[in-house]
Structure formats: structure tokens, C-alpha cells
Amino acid sequence: MGSYVLGFEEIDQTQVAIVGGKGAHLGELSRIEGIRVPAGFCVTTDAFRRIIAEAPSIRERLEQLSCLNPDDGEVIRTLSAEIRRIIEGITIPDDLAAAITLALAGLGEQAAYAVRSSATAEDSPTASFAGQQDTYLNVLGPATILQHISRCWASLFTERAVTYRLRNGFDHRKVHMAVVVQQMVFPEAAGVLFTADPFTSNRKVAAVEATFGLGEALVSGLVSADMYKVRDGEVVAKAVATKPLAIRASPAGGTQEEAIDPERQQQSALTDAQVVRLAQLGRRIEEHFGCPQDIEWCLVDDGFQIVQSRPITTLFPIPALDDHENHVYISVGHQQMMTDPMKPLGLSFWQMTTPRPMYEAGGRLFVDVVRDLGSPTSRARLLEMAGKSDPLIGDALQSILKRGDFIPSLLDESPRGAPAGSAPVPIETDPAIVTDLIGRNQESIAALKRDIRTKSGSALFDFILADIQELRRILFDRKSHAVFMSAMEATWWLNERLEAWLGEKNVADTLTQSVAHNITSEMGLALLGVADVIRPHPEVVAFLQSVDDDGFLDKLPALAGGGEARDAIRGFLDMYGMRCVGEIDMTRPRWSERPTTLVPVLLGNIKNFEPGAGERRFEQGRQEAWAKEQELLERLRILPGGEQKAEEVKRKIDRVRTFIGYREYPKYGMVSRYFVYKQALLGEAGRLVQAHVLREKEDIFYLRFAELHEVARTAHVDEQLIAQRKDAFRSYQALTPPRVLTSDGEVVAGAYRRDDLPTGALVGLPVSAGTIEGRARVILDMADADIEPGDILVTAYTDPSWTPLFVAIAGLVTEVGGLMTHGAVIAREYGLPAVVGVEHSTRLIRDGQRIRVNGTDGYVEILAGP
């Protein structure tokens, strides 16, 4: 039938560029044994390109569209309407019309057809484009079919399709449109089958939605669907909806609504046997395509016909452990305050650093705790820690345990991955212990910087591998672990005992303000110090307000006071320049590499604070902690046995204030080391670019460490692999990682089991006591922060790079976090009321609203609009 028309029998899933995603899937479906697909053909993208070539004015408008922002709604609406009008006005050339008419004659010109858009970017594993282009049902006669083909071509430029492409990074000029022409079927029932439960993501549960007549009634929202769930060949859940109408084919073409007889409206559209049979067909299709499918089906004469199948793009992937055993995965990112995807080099470094196996899915890392849950002793330890640090994870694990059939029972054993010799180490409360640990870490990093300079090629990779053992030795040192664990345990002890003895919640939060050796909170105060240096020099301040080039530091000495400003900023970067948002991913750009990131925060400090604010803030926190300590001890002494209670509390307070600041240091040391590795590897990448092995230095971020080592050794790289990894990383950015995931693919969501909250309150985990009201600033990117003193920061998560903002805010709300994660530690250090783990808070709270944060009881109230 030539290059303009291909029958389904000529098409397979490799031909997306020719027949679009929908056409390629239909052709492939028709090849699966036992799967019935209504006959049809595709008008190829060659035909579309020919039509576009008939109107050169379209190219200019496509160029304009490509420069727009997804939020430029009015311009998108105007330009896309113009393009559609032009396309629909082009007469289909005679030879193309003849090829289409010939294909229709082969199937039956008098039959009714569905005419369906099939874009080259749709129905891919990473973007479905569902509903973005047009479909026309029950189209009659060749002339009308040709007209609707033109409409499908034009629908590539509906406003919603153009906006979707802009949001997802697709180039309008590279996406083409094919058209599917397929014989209509006139079903008794129709609907959608998901081979994985769309609500829980469980891959072993199929979900069916069904209604009478054509499936358009569901797509358009005219009726509610009957819902069925199938597991292991059995309907395990069913909900039959009232269906007052159906959509049927109209004798004159198109479709029409038809009222359902009242006695049938609450009848099930499918029998249980039919649902099970449909689910079995779905499994066959899923096996053929190799991933869970979203399948459109029709029931005709008690037989199912499949009219579409596409990958389900919203499912979070499962770690690739194909051992057919049950696994329970906990998100590493939720513990590390970095739920964004990581690039392969960053993932591999994290996996090499940690002693416990970590499994990758969707660009994130997970640990498998199924054995911990199976062993009584380790189960109790895990549930206790999870319940304290992240109640949502703890509750999710409890819900899995309550099922009784998912976790294998095991004999007690030592928990895997615990720090070497993790039994409690007796430790005295001695500040010298912390200074010694920090000193040894600094000496080790200095030796690393000195020795790595002479290494290149394979010797560099061998050197880094050896040094990672040194990093692990420091990170999992028994004494280091004992220091911060003893501080955390003392914190919990103080909160529990003092609430019991004095009726006061979370008293340790005040006691941990302005402690020694907290490298992260010191960083926030240090940037206030940099602001003090710059503030007296208006020429420097004015220059910084227009900075957009990371080389700005070299231009500062030409300004009055610029030399001092440059030295102050460089001094800060020497100490903290290895930090950045998402710092556990070593591929992320560091402040030293992109110092412009700090400029908005620095300007905010210059504007909002007086000289000496850093020192005053630290001293104020220290005084508040001391006053709280004296108050508590006085109140305790008047209780029965009060002297003994006071002595015990005093010892715990001393321990907390001596050791809790060190909690932030091991990660600082690790990130410092990562930055040294990164600089060395980028130097090696530069040599590979000069040798024409790599296209650009940053390509190394899409290779794992061992793969990069092999590239350096062989001077050969798989460019296709790098391209695939880049595409995968882009797709992972659209996914939301779950806290807990099973090997069935089920996302297990925990809940806060509390009923003592004000009506409408958003619940979370209380991590820093106190109550504050203020303006909510909903910020997802620190570079966009426009914070004024008294604002309350609402964000997805915070890691150490957010600390400079903490000096200005009055409170904190995050979607992710735990008692000992970064945001909680720094909020307590600065005395900020904070609630973390407030799910969907960045969507439920609008920027500018007044809110009240109760950091003592763990909830947020929305008070008013902007």
C-alpha cells in the first residue's frame, strides 16, 4: 500500500516513527496469539510531513511555539488555533487520498470506522499523551473519513497537546502525526483494564473499569464505572455503579447517548467469569510488551476485542530482584532528605559507600528490610526506630506485618548493615571526643586532596576505590556512631521522662539550641558573617543584584570593597562549597561550581539583618537553652525524689549539648570527600573529551563508576547507553518515590493514627516545639527563595544546603522528614517551630497564605488566604 498507508499486519512496535505510538501498539497487538484486534490500517507520518510541507507558514509558527513557556496560555491558544486552521484547510493530494480509499476498499467501504490520532511521542514507557489528540468514532464513508484524518493531523496542535509537550520537553518540530483507521465494533460493554492496580501500584492485582456501550461514556465522565479487582484468577473486590446511560453508535454517524432501562442501571456490566477472562488476556498482553499495560477493550458477542494498549507511565518501578521472593523496600531518599532521582554515577558512589545492599528503582535507592521484619528482635528495633524517625514508614511496615502472609518468619539474627561492632559502646560525656573525631576526619580529607592530585587513568579509579574504604571506616566508626546515638537516645529520654514528670512535651527541642560543633547550623550563621562584610559596600551590593555568571568573583576586586567581598565569599566556599541541593548525589552542581546559587540568599541577609546577627542569634539560643535547663532542674527538685531526678536530667542535658551537634558532621565529611572524587573524575573526563572519547564532561554522570573506569581504560564509550540513561533520568523526574514499596510493586502508604487535631488541620511529625503564625512561602527550588523575616518555609524537603534560609524564617513545614533528619536538627538548633512529613503540604498550602505551625503537637492550620 506504499509509504503512506500500512495495514496492521505490516506494523510492529518498532515502527513508532512511522505510525505513531498508538499505531505501533495496535500492529503489535494484532500479532499476539489469542488477542483479537479490529482490522485497520495506519496513515503514516510520511503523509503528515507531506501535508505540513504544503504550508511553509506552519514552520514559522512552530518556531514561535518552541520558544514559549507552558504558562503562556493565551499565545499558545492563538498560535495552535492558527496551525490547526491551516492544516484542516489543506486539500489531501489525489495520490494520498487514493491510497487511503484503496485501503478502505480492502476492509469494506460501507463499514463504520474509528479514526484515531497516533503521534510519534505518545504511548511510550515515559509519556502516554492520553487524551491529548483527537479520536472520532463511527465515521461513515470515504469522504468523511478523509475529512476526519485531516482533523486528526490538526489535533497535534490542540492547546492541551502543545502545553503537554512544552511541560514534558518534547520539540513540536520533531513530533509527527500518523492516523489509525480501524473498523468500529459495537460492544455490549467496554472499558479499561489496568494490569497493575492504579491506586496501590500492585503488579499482582489487575483492575477493570466497565460500562455499558462504548467506552466513551467513561472517558467523558458521563457515568461512573463498575470497578473490579482480580488477583490470582479471582475477583477479590467489586463495586457496581449506577449507570443511567450508555453511548452507542448513531445510524447517521458519530455517537449518541442512550438511556439505560431503570432495572438494568445497577446491573454489573460484566460477569465475574468475564472479568477473570479479561484479566488473563491482559496478562498475556503485559507479558508480550514486558511492562504493565493500560488496555482499552470491548465486549462483543461474549468475546473481548482489544482496541488499544499502552504502558502505564505513572507506576513507580520495582527494584530488579528476580528471585520470586517477597521483599519490603524502604526509601533511602526519605531518610536522606533527597527524594529527587540521582544520576548513575551518584547512585553507584552511594552504593559503594554503604555496607548494606541498596537497590535501585526509578533513579532512587531502597533498602530491603524483609529479613529485619521476619526476625523478632530486629523487627522490634526497626519498628521502634521507624516509629520515632518517620511514623509514616513505621505505620506502613505495621500494616504489612498485619497481613500475616507476606513476611517470612526467621530466627533472630544480627541486623544486616549495622555499623561495625554496633553493640552499644560505653562513652563518657567529654567534648574532646568530638574534637578528636572531627580532627581525624579533617586530616584524612587533607591527605586525600594531597594524594589524589598525582593520579590519572586507571590509577585514579584504583585510588578512589581504596579511599572509599577509608571513607567507610570513618563513617561507620564505632565511637563516632556511639557519640550521636548516645545524644539521640538522651534526647528521647529527656522528652519521655520530662513529659511524664513535668507534663511538658518535647523539652529537649529548646535544650538543643546553639550547641557546639554543628557544622550545618554554623554554615547558616557564617553566611550572615559574609553579609556583614559586604553590607558596607553599596557598589558591591548593586553588582551582586545583577549577577548571572558564575565567574563573578573574579570581577569583584574592580569594585570598592570588592576584594574583601571576594575573600569573604571564597572563605565561605572553602569551608562549605562542597554543599548543594541534593548533595548525596555527587553529580549535582556544588556551590563552589555554581556560586551564583548563593547570591539571592546573601542579598536577603544583607537586606534583612543588622551587623553581628549571626553571633547574636547563636548567643540568644545558648541563653534560651541555659534558662530552660535551670527552669527544668528547679521544677524537678521540688518533686518527690527530685534531687535524684534533677541530677539524672542534668547528666542527660550535658550529654545532649556536648554530642548532638556532631550528628551533622559525618555527612559533611562524606560530602567533602565526594567533592574531591568528583573534581578528579571531571579532570579525567576533560582528558577523555580532548581525546574525542566523550562528547562532554558531564556525560560521565550517566555511567556507573565501574563503567566509567572501563571507558578510561579502553578509550571507548557506548554513546547509545548514555543517551538511554539521559532519557530514563528525565522520565524518573516525573515520578514520586514511595516511602515503602513491596516486591509486588505495591506502594504502602502509612498514616498518622491521631484524632486529637483541630478540624481541617494538616497532620505531620512534631520535630521542633513551639507555635508560630506567619506567611507561608511555598518554595520548591532554593534559587527561587524570596524570604522575609517571619515567613514560614513550606517545601518538599530540606537538606543542609537550605540552612542559609533558616536564619530568616520563623517556622518550617516539609513533606518529607523525621526526628533526626536535617530540617528537624537545624530547626531545633535555631529554635524554629517545625512540622515535617506533612504529605502534599506544598499543594494544600498556597504561597502567601497565613498558617499556624504547631511544632509541639505536630500539625499545621491554614488560617486565611493571601
- Residues classed as catalytic: 822
Which runs of consecutive H residues, i.e. helices, occur in 89-126?
94-107
Q: Regarding beta strands 177-183 and 189-194, do their DSSP bridges make them parallel or antiparallel, or are they unpaired?
A: unpaired
CA-to-CA distance for 151 and 144, rounded, in angstroms? 11
CA-to-CA distance for 656 and 484, rounded, in angstroms? 9
The SS3 assignment for 843 reads helix
Identify residue 180 by its one-letter amino acid code.
V
Q: What are phi and psi of 589, to 5 degrees?
A: -65, 130
Instruction: Provide the strand spans (E) within 221-376.
Output: 226-231, 234-239, 245-249, 255-259, 293-300, 303-311, 328-331, 359-361, 364-368
Q: Which residues contact 790 (CB under 8 A, 6 or more apart)?
A: 774, 775, 809, 810
CA-to-CA distance for 851 and 551, rounded, in angstroms? 40
Q: Which residues contact 492 (CB under 8 A, 6 or more apart)?
A: 388
- Given a contact cutoff of 8 angstroms between Cβ atoms, the answer to whether 751 and 837 are in contact is no
Q: Residue 352 carries which DSSP code?
A: H
CA-to-CA distance for 693 and 711, rounded, in angstroms? 8
CA-to-CA distance for 273 and 49, rounded, in angstroms? 47
- Given a contact cutoff of 8 angstroms between Cβ atoms, the answer to whether 205 and 196 are in contact is yes
Q: Count H helices and E strands in the chain, helices first.
A: 30, 25
- Given a contact cutoff of 8 angstroms between Cβ atoms, the answer to whether 192 and 297 are in contact is yes
CA-to-CA distance for 395 and 383, rounded, in angstroms? 9
CA-to-CA distance for 240 and 191, rounded, in angstroms? 14
- Given a contact cutoff of 8 angstroms between Cβ atoms, the answer to whether 253 and 228 are in contact is no
Give CA separation, 325 vs 328, 371, 407, 701, 748, in Å: 10, 11, 10, 32, 18
| Site of grid cell 551533622 | 664
Q: Could you tell me how far CA 201 lies from the centroid of its own chain?
A: 16
CA-to-CA distance for 455 and 129, rounded, in angstroms? 49
782 closest CA partner among 600, 557, 519: 600
CA-to-CA distance for 674 and 685, rounded, in angstroms? 16
CA-to-CA distance for 377 and 412, rounded, in angstroms? 6
CA-to-CA distance for 133 and 21, rounded, in angstroms? 12
C-alpha torsion sign, points 556, 562, 565, 566:
positive
330 closest CA partner among 740, 735, 737: 740
The CA-based angle 565-779-737, given to 5 degrees, is: 120
579 closest CA partner among 517, 520, 532: 520
- Given a contact cutoff of 8 angstroms between Cβ atoms, the answer to whether 801 and 781 are in contact is no
Give CA separation, 184 vs 33, 114, 247, in Å: 21, 6, 14
The CA-based angle 214-220-221, given to 5 degrees, is: 105
